[in-house]
Amino acid sequence: MAALSVALGVGSALPILKSVTPVELKIPEWPRVKIAKLSELSNEPSKVFTYPLENTPNILLKLGSRVDGGVGPDGNIVAYSQVCQHLGCFVRFIPAGQSSGMADKNVFYCPCHGGYYDAATGTILAGPPLYPLPRTLLQYDETTGDIIAYGMGPPVIFGKGPPGSTEIWRNLIGGNLVRGE
């Protein structure tokens, strides 16, 4: 009877032990994706694209002057998640001189709650967002003129993890990765 009690106790504890055993999460690698050619940005200085998942919109910009971390021959091309860090609405790009709220700057504007972000840095300028827009990491290929996305900077895209988290691997979960090179 004692042996049977021990066997039943061990048998009922196994599911509990499995639930506390660390599970190895297989995190996919960041896809490398050609998102534009430099020549495409000469007439239209912005382009919406999806990265790193098929359901996560980003916006590529060719700004008028060099910016920290910018790519291209003039160091003026940047990209950010298009998902506002407040409640997940999509921001839109407004060039300098066309915004009533920030006339002297290139900005991203969230029409849902009036948030403004600096288009060169992704930092918050006004409104309710608490975190900057996540930056899409870019490379420029001088020989082909291709602009390539290869990763994301922190914080995580709104809705992909705890707000403001630096666990950027969470941006790779919850959908299909875009097809890379």
- Residue 27: its pLDDT value, please? 77
Q: Which domain holds residue 56?
A: 33-172
Identify the burial level of 11 via C-beta atoms within 10 angstroms of its C-beta, where 0-12 means exposed, 13-18 middle and 19 or more buried.
Answer: exposed
The residue annotated as part of the active site, out of 32, 37, 66, 113, is: 113
25 within some domain: no
- Residue 98: its pLDDT value, please? 81
The pLDDT tens digits of the residues spanning 27-70 come to 789 999 999 999 999 878 899 999 999 999 999 999 989 999 99
In whole angstroms, give the CA distance from residue 49 to residue 60: 8
- Residue 81: its pLDDT value, please? 97
- Residue 103: its pLDDT value, please? 74
65 within some domain: yes
19 within some domain: no
14 within some domain: no
- Residue 85: its pLDDT value, please? 96
| Residue ranges for the chain with pLDDT beneath 50 | 17
28 within some domain: no
24 within some domain: no
16 within some domain: no
Is residue 29 part of the annotated active site? The answer reads: no
157 within some domain: yes
The residue annotated as part of the active site, out of 49, 53, 86, 172, is: 86
Domain with residue 116: its CATH number is 2.102.10.10
In whole angstroms, give the CA distance from residue 48 to residue 84: 14
User: What's the domain count of the chain?
Assistant: 1
Is residue 113 part of the annotated active site? The answer reads: yes
